Amino acid sequence: MSTMFEDIGGNSFGLVGIDRATQEAGDRRRALAEKAEAERRAAQELEIAKQVQARLFPQTLPPRKQLDYYGVCLQARQVGGDYYDFLDLGGQHLRKGNRCRSPDGQFAGKFAQPVHRGRP
């Protein structure tokens, strides 16, 4: 509820009833709650994506008697586009594969290189 008035100088002003002010405060409170919920859901989805991505990396490494090796990928943010794997090619042959994604979404590089070659 609001009422408009005019003073003797011709200036208009209005008085807003408590119902309108209460409604506006409620609208702001709901908007803030919705924003907070959206941010919470986005953070939760990023955490799930981080866990899924971590499971894509090798969990066990092919054993090699004459080679100690490991791999780790620590993202600067929650998720990223880099990936690696170790491929057991049988015998004493092992290859390491990497994929790197640049910030624009393009693959910056991919390669597979021998890690260890068996000797007769």
> CA gyration radius for the chain?
30
Same domain, 63 and 44: no
pLDDT on residue 95: 73
Name which of 32-36, 37-41, 51-55, 82-86 the model is least confident about.
82-86
**Global pTM value:** 0.54
Range of the domain at 15: 2-52
Portion of the chain with pLDDT greater than 70, in percent:
77
Q: Find out whether 82 and 74 touch, Cβ atoms under 8 Å.
A: no
Same domain, 36 and 80: no
- 56 is written with which tokens? 């894509």
Same domain, 67 and 112: yes
pLDDT tens digits along 88-102: 777 777 777 777 665
